[in-house]
Structure 1
Amino acid sequence: MTSRLPVIVGFGGYNAAGRSSFHHGFRRTVLESMDLPARQQTLAGLAQMMKLVHVVDGQYQDDQGQVLSLAEIDARFSAIILAGTLVRRIEAQHLDPDAAYWQKNISLSATADSPLSFVTSRKQLPEPLPENWSVTELNASEVQVTLHDSCEFKIASYRPLAVKSAGQLPTGFEPSELYNSRFHPRGLAMTVVGVTDALRSVGIEWQHIVQQVAPDQIAVFAGSVMSQLDENGYGGMMQSRLKGGRVTAKQLALGLNTMPADFINAYVLGSVGTTGSTTGACATFLYNLQKGVEQIQSGKSRVVVVGNSEAPVNQECIEGYGAMGALATEEGLRQIEGKDDVDFRRASRPFGANCGFTLAEACQFVVLMDDELALQLGADIHGAVPDVFINADGFKKSISAPGPGNYLTVAKAVASAVQLIGADGVRQRSFVHAHGSSTPANRVTESEILERVASAFAIEQWPVTAVKAFVGHSLATASGDQLISALGSFKYGIIPGIKTIDAVADDVFQDHLSIATEDRSLAPEQLEACFINSKGFGGNNASAVVLAPHVAERMLRKRHGEAAFAAYQTRRAATRSAAQAYDELALKGQLEIIYNFGNDMIDDKQIEISAEQIKVPGFAQPLQFASDARYRDMLD
């Protein structure tokens, strides 16, 4: 049986570049290479997102109520918008890098001649009392405590962080403000708004899609690496006792790293299909993408939502990765630049002189369909993912050190693409979205992998880019950032240059590679495939093959015939029109967030079960039990 082709029919999310759908985030990273209308449209959307302008009666206005044109927004706010997006100095309202909270231990000593005493509330006395304390009642509520020996106290204090840069969401954009977030951790709030963006970008109402497939033919694979570590998740739960507070009923449950998938099923899609999250450190998005691709190729699912949401820009994550020597510190950047004033916007420096990666927050989601369903519904196709390869490193001395597994994934990905688009297609019309973490080790090891694979397949001057230069390293979501950027390159024919470096470092392998510091503009048809490469701590390596939309369409014409494809194009026109209508609303802040808390719940008693199928309320198609003869011969 011919394998179903997983095609991308929608994508969306948010990172330091802004909103991902309709390539706005990509356009921000190559803004200097965009034409004026595209530049001004993206800037206007960011201005509204960052609360620099407001929308009244469909028009952009400033705080004084003056109506602004796109050109006026560009002239007045572009400098602020550019400064408040992409990698930059950590903003104090998010986390003050100059005054990060911690507790300082202070020892107090008392002697027989000079005891120490203080007055406190009876309710604040510790249980049990320390042996060297004596307590005298002053009144019904207060006591005097006398110390007869030494005692240690923890005192609130502040200190600067060594790391002061991050890839933060655009200044002023708060996902939790867009819906009734009910004390959701930041990562889950990002999940809700990010997956909504992806679903709206499809241009087909979700319920219409649901009616065309069986309930178990929808799947969701989403999660996070670091779980939810802010006050509303594991961060608050772990810190509560030390801070003298109480754990809430939500913190543990909402902190789970699989909770993004659970939220999508329960509050966005209402799905009863396959669900889960595969964690693979910094390659997690591709791990989940592989699950989605395999579900569609096998026919188990016809629609799959894949994505990740990560919110690690907090003191604990920064100090944890910093203690490993993995992050770019202020002092490290100062030494690289050779000057006291550090340009934090250039903190992430893939394949250049660098000193560590830059943490980032992001949520990215793609909607996959099998090719037959996409044609049936008239879904717009933004690309196809025929394969994702995953390999471990084998025996390791250091769990965080790179290893040989990435050689396997990259080589298998290239070999796979050669069989699809031919050797010339790979050699002349493909490019690489490198992991490009911006560490000294990565610039050498990853470039050597790409160099050796390129040599083996006779690829000369293989274009290599790295989106982390612009948006930082969002851990679980990192390869999602890469994929979204690749779709932008397919759309506009622009391969982003690594513009945060002045030159490629001397120790980078590049005899067969082309690593540019400026954007490269090509005709979109000159790009047929992109290789998404990701390397994660612990030996988690993944590489994906992503085909350009015009290549996917060529494949579908051949598989389904010209007549079927022509009918599909007619249906697609309406889809594109609906999707464009959403983009126009989103640019003016009408994001139409999908959050169905307690709505349309399924009554278990209404489920109809027979020997052949299950009928679930709210789903037009029944879940029919599949015929399975895989092991029958073992019982004959």
Structure 2
Amino acid sequence: MSRLPVIVGFGGYNAAGRSSAHHGFRRTVIESMDSHSRQETLAGLAVLMKLIKVVDGQYHSLDDAPLTLAAIEADYGPQILASTLVRRIEKSHLDVDAAPWQKNLTVTGPAGKPLSFITLRKQLPEPLPSDWTVEALNDNDVQVTLYDGCDIKVDSYRELPVKSAGQLPSGFEPSELYRSHFHPRGLQMTVVAATDALRSIGLPWQKIVDHVAPDEIAVYASSIMSQLDENGFGGLMQARLKGGRVTAKQLALGLNSMPADFINAYVLGSVGSTGSITGACASFLYNLQKGCDMITSGRARVAIVGSSEAPINQECIDGYGAMGALATEAGLQQIEGKDTVDFRRASRPFGQNCGFTLAESSQFVVLMDDALALELGADIHGAVPDVFINADGFKKSISAPGPGNYLCMAKAVASAIQLVGEDGVRLRSFVHAHGSSTPANRVTESELLDRVAANFGIADWPVTAVKAYVGHSLASASADQLISALGSFKYQLIPGIKTIDAIADDVHQQHLRIAKVDVSRAEQPLEVCFINSKGFGGNNASGVLLAPQVVERMLRKRYGPERFAAYLAKREQTRADAQAYDQQALKGQLEIIYNFGHDLIDDQGIEMGSEQINVPGFSQPLVFQRDARFADMLD
């Protein structure tokens, strides 16, 4: 009997704000939220963005005037809305109008005469160019004479053609929440996002640890662009060219495995299975598949799965821009037919578009097997029975789409039909499309989804794309999709693609329904979401996500009414504790978990026996499993 991987916690941060308790989802459908939910989310964002403060548990303006939720919405609402989701890149993050670079400059003397200048002796190059002569002026200074001239690099500034991105909310700085010295931005986001996911569970982490063996906790997380700012690979590669030195941390912290490593070393203190799987823009689903496989096979009972990406920098913009993959200001001007651009609408899945919009995001989910979730009374937000991955075969262009997505998407639908029946899929499922907002994607992915829908008899299959709101966060993109889907299950609301005026004429939609407004499903509740993701190089993944009400039906059948009723009783306290964390977080009390140098395990304290290992700090032993897989091959 396979164990079902259920989602018992989720959290993170992207352009919509904090993900736990569905606040990020609420921001994307803010127009469709009830008054209290809308005002509560806006208040939390106002605190996160440092627009207001909290005094004795109450909201206050920065000049100490008390504020009600209604007053926060009235006074700060427009600014909050304008400073979240996709928007023009803010100067505090990157000045897209004056981005620094170096120009090559050839200098020679007048009319072919020698050129002289004075510099410090210690600044002379080694070895000296053959046409240079050096005359000492004093102990420090020298005069250099050049007979053939030379090439120099001069600091300059340029305007970037790409000016929009899915940034974290204005004013929110993860580095300010814990001792983040020399941590690249992607790892700062990892620490605060993993904390948010763990706090959202509503169960003390130590309680979970005490119920499982040390090797039954797994962590799978990665980034695809590594950490490219000055504290990671960016600084490593630029240091010598800028006349500086490489630090001892830049290479190590730049590795794309660091999101998982940081969680193990500084958040959980885990000694269980770990890994960082990358599949381009499908990386989160690749890690999710590994986490689910570990749980269904019984090799892990808890898995923390996620991704963290911070690609809003010149290097990523230049790289993706050189491929023609990004939405430029000129491209958006051409689409809108005017000189001014609404950067809020830069990301336009399935509409008239000109490229995708980079974004930063860090998202994590906490998975448990169903038995442990029932035992602990964990709140279940959904389940992931499977994730399917297929490559494209031979390719002409590494960035072009291919046939692999047909395979994994069709397998995902066929799998879901076995769980919820044909009507469950045909009438109560929806798709979170990759929806990258490129002209090629709108055609190829819509054709794929349309053909899959026709094959399985699905009419008017609802399709949404969260990149319209938060942009394309590369490794974290499918995590943004999954977190949004959990919000749809909670509020029975499918976000419309509100950044487009109309569906593009070349989009295939005979069997699809791509709405431009939020769609309520209260009368026909959603039960299944298909998370679809495509990545450069032929990386395709499609995940099956079950709604919590479906999971409850399955658990009642598996465990019987008495055990399920006992679970529901335990769950009340879990929900209350999770809600308490949410209320604290709305007031800025995020309680970041960062254990640097604490509770280190003494190797000498490990007790090894023939049947098990006891690890200091863990109440359960690591028991050696009996392996009968190859018994028929042994004497």
TM range (shorter): over 0.9
User: Aligned AA for 1:80?
Assistant: Q
Query: Matches of 1:474 and 1:450 in 2, distance apart?
Result: 22
Question: 2:377 corresponds to which residue?
Answer: 378
Q: Distance in 1 between matches of 2:217 and 2:537?
A: 31
Query: Displacement, 1:524?
Result: 7.6
Deviation at 1:536, TM superposition (A): 0.2
- Give CA deviations for 1:572-618 in whole Å, capped at 9, x if unaligned: 00000111110000001100000000100101111010000000011
Structure 2 contact 115–149 (Cα < 8 Å) conserved: no
The aligned runs of 1:546-561 (5 Å cut-off) are 546-561=545-560
Matching residue's letter, 1:620: S
**What is the alpha-carbon distance in structure 1 between the residues aligned to residue 74 and residue 371 of structure 2?**
47
Aligned residue for 1:82, secondary structure, equals: helix
Contact 1:489 1:524 in 2 (8 A): no
Q: Please report how far the alpha carbon of residue 154 of structure 1 lies from its aligned counterpart in structure 2 after TM superposition.
A: 0.2
Distance 1:207 1:197 in 2: 16
For 1:621, the equivalent position in structure 2 comes to 620
Shift of 1:544: 0.3
Q: Shift in Å at residue 141 of structure 1?
A: 1.0
Residue 52 (structure 2) pairs with residue 53 (structure 1): yes
Is 1:572–2:558 an aligned residue pair? Answer: no
Corresponding residue for residue 602 of structure 1: 601
3-state secondary structure, aligned to 2:595: coil
* In 1, Cα distance between equivalents of 2:5 and 2:460: 29
Residue of structure 1 in register with 2:473 after alignment? 474
One-letter amino acid matched to 1:369: M
Q: Say if 1:525 and 1:594 are closer, same or farther in 2 by CA, change over 3 A.
A: farther
Q: Distance in 1 between matches of 2:14 and 2:279?
A: 20
> Hey, what's the Cα distance between the residues in 1 that align with 2:422 and 2:495?
24
Look up the SS of the partner of 1:561 in the other structure.
Answer: helix
Give deviations 1:254-309, integer Å, cap 9, x for gaps: 00000110000000001000000110000000000000000000000000000000
Match of 2:133 in 1: 134
Q: Which residue in 1 is equivalent to 2:252?
A: 253
Partner Cα separation in structure 1 for residue 69 and residue 111 of structure 2:
76
**Alignment partners' CA distance in 1, 2:633 and 2:570:** 47
* 1:526 to partner: Cα distance: 1.1
Q: In the alignment, which residue of structure 2 is the partner of 1:538? A: 537
Secondary structure of the 1:253 match is helix
CA distance in 2, matches of 1:66, 1:354: 45
Distance of 2:185 and 2:193 partners within structure 1: 12
- The secondary structure found in structure 1 opposite 2:87 is strand
- In structure 1, the partner of 2:423 is 424
Q: Could you tell me how far apart the structure 1 residues matched to 2:565 and 2:414 are?
A: 32
Deviation at 1:342, TM superposition (A): 0.5
Whether 2:21 is the aligned partner of 1:22: answer yes
Q: Distance in 2 between matches of 1:109 and 1:187?
A: 44
Q: Quick one: structure 1 residues 108 and 512, their matched pair in 2 at CA, closer, same or farther if it must change by over 3 Å?
A: same
| Partners of 2:44 and 2:353 in 1: CA distance | 32
Report the equivalent of 1:101.
100
Alignment correspondent of 1:321: 320
Taking the aligned partners of 1:113 and 1:106, their CA distance within structure 2 comes to 17
Task: Indicate yes or no: 2:395 matched with 1:406.
Answer: no
What is the aligned partner in structure 1 of residue 451 from structure 2? 452
The correspondence of residues 448-527 of structure 1 with structure 2, limited to 5 A, is 448-523=447-522, 526-527=525-526
Aligned to 1:202: 201
1:520 positional shift = 0.3
Normalising by structure 2, what TM-score?
A: 0.99
Structure 1 Cα separation of the partners of residues 464 and 111 of structure 2: 70
> SS at the partner of 1:296?
helix
Q: Tell me the C-alpha RMSD between the 2 structures.
A: 0.8
- Whole-angstrom CA distance in 2 between matches of 1:553 and 1:525: 17
1:526 aligns to what SS in structure 2?
Answer: coil
The Cα of 1:635 is off from its aligned counterpart by 2.4
Distance in 2 between residues matched to 1:631 and 1:73, nearest whole Å: 65
Kept in 1: contact 2:100–2:157 (CA 8 A): yes
Structure 2 residue identity aligned to 1:455: A
Q: How far apart are 1:120 and its partner, in Å? A: 1.1
2:337 matched residue in structure 1? 338
Q: Hey, what's the Cα distance between the residues in 2 that align with 1:580 and 1:553?
A: 21
Q: For the residues of structure 2 that align with 1:231 and 1:7, how far apart are their CA atoms? A: 38
1:70 aligns with 2:69: yes
Aligned residues of 2:435 and 2:467 also touching (Cα < 8 A) = yes
Structure 2: which amino acid aligns with 1:244? G
Distance 1:144 1:73 in 2: 64
| TM superposition shift of 1:60 | 1.2
Query: For residues 7 and 558 of structure 1, what CA distance do their matches in structure 2 show?
Result: 16
SS state of the match for residue 421, structure 1? helix
- Cα distance in structure 1, aligned partners of 2:417 and 2:194: 33
- Amino acid paired to 1:510: Q
